[in-house]
Amino acid sequence: MRALPHPSLRAMAAFWIAAAFLAGVAAAWLWFDSQGAWREHLLHADRDGQLLYAAIETGSTMPKDLQAYPLTKPDAELAEKAQFISLSDAPRPALLTHIPVTGLHPSGTNMPQLVIEAVSSDLSYPVGRLTTGPEMAAQEMLGQIVRLLSTYCGDPLVVLRSSGGTWYRLDGSALWSCQAVPRDRRIAAMALGGFALLALLASASRIAHRFSDFASQLHDRQLRGGPDAYEREGPAELAAIVEAVNLYLDRERQRLSKRLMVLSGVSHDLGSPATRLRLRAALIEDEVLRNRFAADIERMTEMIDGVLAYTRSELNVETPRKLSLTALVEALVDDYRDAGQPVELRPIEPVRTEGARSLFSSRVGHGELSERQILVTARPMALQRAISNLIDNALKYGRRAHVSLEADAQRAQIVVEDEGGETRPEVMAALTAPFERGPQEAQVSGHGLGLTIAATVAEAHGGSLSFAQGARGLRVTLTIARG
């Protein structure tokens, strides 16, 4: 089945911009439509209140959504005594709101006050919000009151006394009941806008994570290893980068493999001539000349083996694994000592840790952990070869080798110090180039690849090789990441 093409960042950006725009338009429509419906609801209540005034005072038609019915005689008597809480159908418990209706009659004359009493189980209406004035008409005042009642969702008992002294019960459930209040969709609008924003941020974060994750895999490839080819995932731009990296890794792998194959073939082909040369050199009667021939043959084979080792270190064919650096170095030093070599392993230094600043102190705390086994993620054979090269150099140029281990939470250091006296570190640093040898090359055997291999192994483990003048002689530090 053919895989679907990866969408590009440009196409995804266009899609999300369009989606965000549509979500914004929809959220704005919901918001303003809800506000418009609420505004229309309050205007409708205001109109019905004014129509109610005209119906009660002049006998015109009652508004459809606001009706007035005369109270029964017992209820009217209770209302005259201001015992509104005792009226039939009055809610329990009861909160009473007294609202006088003042203002001018439509004819312009002052009329006796209308009185509205609202009995609610849970609400006392804020009459202070009403706008009053000597020039305001009474019907406008009543419209404001009905608008105020319709602002809150409830089921109050509302009674009104007309200017003629008649008590009415107002039925305005079509205006102020919870079923009549317009649905508030502003929360839905905010939820839609927030969801669109979160979806956009999540998509951007997911895409950014794919790029950063691939960058982390490449960054940790030398230390922890990696696949022969990375999977093409994510947007088209990332897939193109992955494809280019896979192509580069494949070409590098083929190039180094061909070099290793050629060198292995040369080493194999030189095996027979080297053996014949050794046999012929053994027939030379002059002992000095015979030894020189044998030394040259040995140096030639060592050089080829060194080039092969260097190429293998570049290939990184060994899989990194968790191991005890302490055990590896101890075993290596024991091998040298068993062979009678003056190699010494110093006591393991405690692991240094650094704390964080606290609320009570700005100083950064430091501590030490007594860690007997220093664990690292490394390629054991390559690391052993690099340490062996450093010890061999110390023995060749400095007579003795003092090995020590240091570590913190992120890195581990293998330090090899010789007793060769004062040596310029910058001169030794230049010897990490292939086939470069020290100033005593005439007196010391070698092929000039030991430090090169050690530096390559250090870089493959996320570290470096450095030189400094120690108390006895040259101090070489192989630093690797612990992983």
What's the 3-state SS for 288-311? HHHHHHHHHHHHHHHHHHHHHHHH
The SS3 assignment for 44 reads: helix
Q: Where are the domains of the chain?
A: 10-176, 220-317, 320-353+369-483
Kindly tell me the number of DSSP H helices and DSSP E strands found in the chain: 12, 14
Q: How far apart are CA 200 and CA 207, in angstroms?
A: 11
Q: Are 143 and 46 in contact (CB under 8 A)?
A: yes
Q: Could you say which architecture CATH assigns to the domain 320-353+369-483? A: 2-Layer Sandwich (3.30)
Closest CA to 458 of 406, 405, 387: 387
pLDDT of residue 70: 94
Q: How confident is the model at residue 175 (pLDDT cuts 50, 70, 90)?
A: very high
Segment 300-317 mean pLDDT: 66
- Reported as a single tens digit per residue, the pLDDT across 344-358 is 998 876 656 565 565
Segment 428-452 mean pLDDT: 62
Least-confidence region, from 57-61, 315-319, 334-338, 393-397? 315-319
pLDDT above 70: residue 415: yes
Beta bridge partners of 468: 475
Segment 45-51 mean pLDDT: 94
Of residues 309 and 404, which shows the higher confidence score? 404
Distances in Å between the Cα of 370 and the Cα atoms of 95, 114, 295, 330 are 75, 91, 48, 17
Q: How confident is the model at residue 223 (pLDDT cuts 50, 70, 90)?
A: low
Q: Are 113 and 100 in contact (CB under 8 A)?
A: yes
Least-confidence region, from 292-301, 322-331, 448-457? 292-301
Q: Are 346 and 403 in contact (CB under 8 A)?
A: yes
Strands, sheet with 401-407, edge to edge from the N-terminal-most edge strand: 343-345, 401-407, 411-417, 474-481, 464-469
Q: How far apart are CA 167 and CA 161, in angstroms?
A: 4
pLDDT above 90: residue 47: yes
- Radius of gyration from C-alpha coordinates of the chain: 47
Sequence-distant (≥ 6) Cβ neighbours of residue 119 within 8 angstroms: 84, 85, 87, 90, 91, 94, 95, 96, 97, 156, 157, 158, 159
Sequence-distant (≥ 6) Cβ neighbours of residue 255 within 8 angstroms: none
